[in-house]
Amino acid sequence: MWWSAVTATPAPAASMRFWTGRQSLDGTSVAYRDAWESIHGNDLGLTFDPANPLTAEDEPGQDRGRHIDYLLVRCTDHGPTLGIADCRLTFAAPVGGVWASDHFGLVADLAAAPPAGA
């Protein structure tokens, strides 16, 4: 798998620590690069945003300002298998008054990774 789309609670969640290689599970570890974090650093990039009225339908009264959707790129011992050129939100505004989903999507521009040692 070259990339993976994952939905989870914010980065401190054990699942995201595992997927990004920050925590092992029974001695097993994996390493995927978070495309959003690679481009935007600590900018949250809310994908479940109270500006979207559909979030109130799913979680009334809850904190709806969260980054809970991820695009992950597989890594090897020497870094990501694909270069991450950009990552941005999509479907983050209504079209004709209609929201596409209660979550905003993520789009990443990926490129072939440079050869090892380059």
Q: Tokens 């595992």 sit at which residue?
A: 18
User: Rounded to the nearest 10 degrees, how much is the dihedral formed by the CA atoms of 89, 87, 38, 113?
Assistant: 160
> Is pLDDT of 54 > 70?
yes
pLDDT tier, 44 (very low <50, low <70, confident <90, very high otherwise): confident
Q: What is the pTM of this model?
A: 0.77
Tell me the average pLDDT across 6-16.
65
Are the beta carbons of 104 and 91 closer than 8 angstroms? Answer: yes
pLDDT tier, 113 (very low <50, low <70, confident <90, very high otherwise): low
pLDDT tier, 56 (very low <50, low <70, confident <90, very high otherwise): confident
pLDDT tier, 76 (very low <50, low <70, confident <90, very high otherwise): confident
Element (H, E) at 13: none
Are the beta carbons of 101 and 90 closer than 8 angstroms? Answer: no
| Amino acid identity at 69 | D
pLDDT tier, 1 (very low <50, low <70, confident <90, very high otherwise): very low
pLDDT one-digit tens code per residue, 86-108: 999 999 999 999 999 988 999 99
Nearest to 110 by CA among 3, 29, 31: 3
Higher pLDDT, 114 or 13: 13
Are the beta carbons of 75 and 5 closer than 8 angstroms? Answer: no
